[in-house]
Amino acid sequence: MEGRIVLITGGAKRVGAHICRRLHKAGASIMLHFRASAGEARLLQAELNHLRANSVALIQADLLDVGKLPSLVDQTVQTFGKLDALVNNASTFYPTMIGDIDVEDWNDLIGTNLQAPLFLSQAAAPALKKTQGSIVNITDIHADRPLKSYVVYSVAKAGLVGLTRSLARELAPDVRVNAVAPGPILWPDEEVFDELARQRIISHTPLRREGTPDDIAKAVHFLLAEAPYVTGETINVDGGRHVAL
């Protein structure tokens, strides 16, 4: 990753922040996107720029505003001179049960988890072709095995897996496109899963434990830096949960 430039959406906290730290440690410079987490973004920028000056820049945007997405790519190239990789990490996650789903839920969950990665990848494609770059999408094991009561989220992540495969074909041979599908890594900030639900999930995970955010970051690093003949692939990082559901 030495000298490479990576745009990471939702990079201010949680898994996104771990991806930023891992790629930065490997030598990359980061354009860190955030929507509302300005404080966390500035702290992470200061932390990483202290280690290597001028290696992390910030950009704020609402990814639901499709017309603004090309500016993320343009500003990255203006700041660092090129773009080597895009990590579509930003996500929204909450339940939507049949009978209660409305258009606002659809627009939010599809918009963040599927629409934004599509249009941001489209905007980034010309710059990535110049550098023989790569895209990594963060999907979910529930893309293939829907999570009960999370209809729209599951549909959105299934679409993102399909988008990964389609873009891998459309952008070849110049740009590789892959995905990482987390399992039980970090529980949502909101108390969506109580302790009993969490233990039930862990008990149905073959490795019988939670993963760590760095497990996801390592997989992203592998796909960007160490997998030149891999494209159209989704790596499940879930302790084997996808085979036990």
Q: In whole angstroms, give the CA distance from residue 156 to residue 135.
A: 18
Average pLDDT over residues 217-231: 98
Residue 240 pLDDT class (50, 70, 90 cuts): confident
Residue 9 pLDDT class (50, 70, 90 cuts): very high
Q: What pLDDT, on the 0 to 100 scale, is given for residue 207?
A: 77
Domain CATH code at residue 110: 3.40.50.720
Residue type, 121: S
Alpha helices in 81-185 (DSSP H): 103-110, 116-131, 151-171
Which pTM value belongs to this model? 0.94
Nearest one of 55, 18, 16, 11 to 33, comparing CA atoms: 11
The residues, ordered by sequence, that sit 6+ positions from 201 with a Cβ below 8 Å of its Cβ are 184, 193, 241
- Residues 137-166 pLDDT 10s: 999 988 988 989 999 999 999 999 999 999
- As annotated, the active-site residues are 153
Q: What pLDDT, on the 0 to 100 scale, is given for residue 12?
A: 97
Q: Lay out the sheet containing 85-88: strands in order across.
A: 56-60, 29-34, 5-8, 85-88, 134-138, 176-182, 234-237
DSSP state of 54: T
In this structure, what token pair is assigned to residue 231? 């494209």
Q: In whole angstroms, give the CA distance from residue 173 to residue 49.
A: 34
Q: What pLDDT, on the 0 to 100 scale, is given for residue 192?
A: 63
Asked whether 151 and 96 are in contact (CB, 8 A), the reply is: yes
Domain hosting 177: range is 5-244
Residue 245 pLDDT class (50, 70, 90 cuts): low
62 has pLDDT over 70: yes
The residues, ordered by sequence, that sit 6+ positions from 41 with a Cβ below 8 Å of its Cβ are 11, 12, 32, 34, 58, 60
The residues, ordered by sequence, that sit 6+ positions from 69 with a Cβ below 8 Å of its Cβ are 61, 63, 116, 119, 120, 123
Asked whether 63 and 9 are in contact (CB, 8 A), the reply is: yes
The residues, ordered by sequence, that sit 6+ positions from 25 with a Cβ below 8 Å of its Cβ are none
Q: In whole angstroms, give the CA distance from residue 95 to residue 216.
A: 23
Q: In whole angstroms, give the CA distance from residue 105 to residue 120.
A: 21
In this structure, what token pair is assigned to residue 72? 């993320």
Q: What pLDDT, on the 0 to 100 scale, is given for residue 189?
A: 60
DSSP state of 184: S
In this structure, what token pair is assigned to residue 203? 């008990």
**Where is pLDDT greater, at 245 or 163?**
163
- 33 beta partners: 59
Please give the tally of structural domains in the chain: 1
- 182 beta partners: 237
**Where is pLDDT greater, at 191 or 55?**
55
